[in-house]
Structure 1
């Protein structure tokens, strides 16, 4: 097994690999992201944080993107791991990095159906008074 390096250094990440990662987990087509300056800027916006899992050649294996005010709340926007690397602890490690950095805030997740157990294992429990809502349809998320 290759060694896995974990980092929050966005300069180590190839944005085309992020686009390919998104496609590999069903978050659209890589071609929709590649070459789009707005997409590249999403990881650099104030209040946007990201944690990455890279192999020994700095190829992207997984990532977690979150929004936080660093005081009250943190929201996991997405967490994705290349399918062939899933169930090997990468997602749990990325969640651990988030917890270490933002454990002083409330952490919220809008989980896709079927992933709730993963988040519960990471200490993020279902909240009976919260419901996830979406405006955009047709992308499999609503």
Structure 2
């Protein structure tokens, strides 16, 4: 982390630079890129809840969720750029998400190997779990 303060943005309209930064984060964590930049922008802007952790112009973390009913919300994705992991960014995103969704049933399709992160925050796991990203052959 640099000396630039971390900013958490809630449901922001996305600039082209933010879309490119989100796409880079997806690639860095092994998720690939969900289609074109227009499709990525639509994915975020039509989601019911998004958070972006931004340091300067760089998106270093994200969280996206969908409200399914007045009582139920699906946590679709949470990720932190590898060079910024283990610095509390994921914790900050989850704390904001939980504060914004009191008295709701929250669940996710947890990626294998990170179930404990979600369970610690009271997020139910839907089965089957989603396989983790595949590592490129060395």
TM-score w.r.t. length of structure 2: 0.80
Q: How does 1:110-129 map to 2 (within 5 A)?
A: 110-126=109-125
The correspondence for 1:11, drawn from 8, 13, 16, is 13
Q: CA deviation at 1:125?
A: 4.9
Flag structure 1 segments of 5+ consecutive residues without an equivalent: none
Q: What's the RMSD between the two structures over aligned residues?
A: 2.4
1:102 aligns with 2:101: yes
| Count of residue pairs brought into register by the alignment | 129
Q: What is the alpha-carbon distance in structure 2 between the residues aligned to residue 100 and residue 22 of structure 1?
A: 25
TM-score w.r.t. length of structure 1: 0.78
Flag structure 2 segments of 5+ consecutive residues without an equivalent: none
Q: What is the alpha-carbon distance in structure 1 between the residues aligned to residue 71 and residue 128 of structure 2?
A: 19
Q: How does 1:21-40 map to 2 (within 5 A)?
A: 21-28=25-32, 30=33, 33=35, 35-40=36-41
Q: CA deviation at 1:70?
A: 5.9
Q: What is the alpha-carbon distance in structure 2 between the residues aligned to residue 70 and residue 104 of structure 1?
A: 13
Q: What is the alpha-carbon distance in structure 2 between the residues aligned to residue 125 and residue 36 of structure 1?
A: 31
1:67-124 alpha-carbon deviations (Å, 9 max, x no partner): 0146111111110100011111111111111111112210001111110111122222
Q: What is the alpha-carbon distance in structure 2 between the residues aligned to residue 114 and residue 20 of structure 1?
A: 22
Q: CA deviation at 1:9?
A: 4.2
CA gap of 1:40–1:12, structure 2 versus 1, over 3 A, is closer
Question: Hey, which bits of structure 1, 4+ residues long, moved more than 4 A?
Answer: none
